[in-house]
Amino acid sequence: MTLRFVGIDPNTGGEGSPTVWVEEESADLVLQGEEADRLLEDLVGSTEWVAGHRTGIPAHERVIRIPFRMVQILREACDAAERAAAEDRDVR
């Protein structure tokens, strides 16, 4: 597994903070962020966002919060993921 670092919260104080990577082989985005507070988690888990889709948050998933100031970093990560996926398609 190879992670490509894309960016970190520009307001980090040198400790753990929201960070974005692209996993090179799968082109998946990997996010580190602040765990959602109970109110946000309850809202996400109790709302039927897609008709017919089960509500709730599976035990293997987490709701995280990424600050607005990282939107540009997420765009860069999406672009990097698309490039990684395109490179993989070219090889196959």
Give per-residue pLDDT as tens, 44-71: 999 999 999 889 999 999 999 998 999 9
Please give the structure tokens belonging to residue 51: 């008709």
Percentage of the chain beyond pLDDT 70 is 95
Tokens, residue 50: 């897609």
Report the C-alpha gap between 26 and 70 in whole angstroms: 22
For residues 63 and 44, is the Cβ–Cβ distance under 8 A? yes
Determine the Cα–Cα distance for residues 85 and 48; give it in Å rounded to an integer.
31
For residue 62, count other CB atoms closer than 10 A to its CB.
12
What does the pLDDT average to over 16-42?
Answer: 91
Would you place residue 30 in the very low, low, confident or very high pLDDT band (cuts 50, 70, 90)?
very high
